[in-house]
């Protein structure tokens, strides 16, 4: 047997267990809890702030935020490049897609989570709430004492990073299906664009090596995914402006159609008369 190809059964067991750390992080990022219960007193919204309309009124399909080529390169050997969308009680407010794959002994797990906030008189504007949610997602990494080699950054000097962004690289000791503990390299990137927060979690494990994939490789891949997902939100998520324009256009068309029908009916009656 080729020493570089993992047996199918063993690879499947390793794959299933390796998913655990990434899915745990994803569950946190897609939770229904706004994470605003511990908001500081100075975060109390003003009347002016809560009257602001939100920019985004819905979300795109999270599994369509990435190009197939991106998935193939970030998750080599992906079992399904179309991804798996998690169930959500309200996909216009909360949506997550997962991808995973193993290429020989290199395993990757990727999630893209989208969270949208409406303005709430008791909690603040949609953007204020989204900003607090971003801070909470970052704090999950910053306060987790079980993480090692944590490094943080604030990308955003170039276009494509929304209104604010945080990026974290770290390692986690992961128990795999062969009852061995292996280090996994993980990256969390959180980006806010207006009232929507995009959270990317990427996990990498090298089952043929005692060392995890390089931080540089995982960071570059996760940040590429984040920028592409943010671009998809900004290009495809419905907005309040577009909704109003579309509604207005549809109303005008409907009125025009009614007038035309009325005129055609009158013409027919005149002819028959």
d(CA 172, CA 212): 10
Among 1, 5, 15, residue whose Cα is nearest residue 184: 15
Q: Is the pTM of this model over 0.85?
A: no
d(CA 173, CA 187): 14
- Please report, for the chain, the start and end positions of each structural domain, with discontinuous segments joined by +: 8-238, 239-273
Query: Could you give the strand order of the β-sheet that contains 164-175, starting from the edge strand earlier in sequence?
Result: 84-85, 94-103, 106-116, 196-206, 181-193, 164-175, 148-153
Interval 96-150: pLDDT, tens:
999 999 999 899 999 999 999 999 999 999 999 999 999 999 999 999 998 999 9
Plot region of 185 (φ>0 → left; ψ -120 to 50 → alpha; else → beta): beta
Query: Residue 24's CB: how many other CB atoms inside 10 A?
Result: 11
Phi and psi angles of residue 237, each rounded to the nearest 5 degrees, phi first: -70, 135
| Three-class DSSP labels, 210-251 | CCCCCHHHHHHHHHHHHHHHHHHHHHHCCEHHHHHHHHHHHH
Please report, for residues 52, 81, 187, 242, the alpha-carbon distance to residue 231 in angstroms, rounded to integers and kept in the order given: 23, 19, 19, 17
Interval 3-58: pLDDT, tens:
333 333 444 444 444 454 444 444 343 444 455 544 444 455 555 555 679 999 99
Q: Which fold has domain 8-238?
A: Protein Transport Mog1p; Chain A (3.40.1000)
């Amino acid at each position: 047997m080729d020493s570089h190809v993992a047996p199918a059964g063993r690879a499947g067991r390793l794959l299933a267990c390796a998913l655990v750390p990434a899915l745990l992080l994803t569950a946190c990022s897609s939770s229904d809890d706004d994470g605003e219960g511990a908001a500081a007193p100075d975060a109390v919204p003003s009347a002016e702030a809560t009257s602001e309309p939100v920019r985004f009124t819905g979300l795109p399909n999270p599994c369509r935020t990435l190009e197939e080529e991106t998935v193939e390169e970030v998750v080599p050997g992906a079992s399904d490049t179309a991804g798996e969308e998690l169930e959500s009680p309200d996909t216009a407010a909360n949506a997550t897609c997962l991808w995973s794959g193993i290429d020989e002994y290199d395993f990757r797990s990727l999630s893209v989570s989208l969270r949208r906030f409406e303005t709430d008189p008791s909690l603040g504007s949609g953007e204020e709430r989204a900003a607090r949610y971003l801070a909470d997602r970052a704090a999950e990494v910053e306060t987790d004492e079980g993480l090692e080699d944590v490094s943080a950054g604030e990308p955003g000097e170039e276009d494509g990073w929304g209104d604010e962004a945080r990026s974290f690289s770290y390692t986690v000791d992961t128990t795999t299906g062969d009852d061995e503990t292996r280090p996994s390299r993980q990256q969390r990137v959180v980006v806010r664009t207006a009232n929507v927060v995009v959270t990317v979690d990427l996990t990498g494990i090298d089952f043929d090596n005692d060392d995890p994939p390089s931080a540089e490789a995982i960071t570059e891949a996760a940040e590429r995914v984040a920028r592409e997902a943010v671009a998809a939100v900004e290009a495809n998520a419905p907005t309040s402006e577009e909704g109003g324009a579309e509604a207005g256009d549809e109303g005008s068309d409907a009125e025009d159609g009614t007038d035309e029908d009325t005129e055609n009916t009158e013409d027919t009656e005149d002819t028959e008369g």
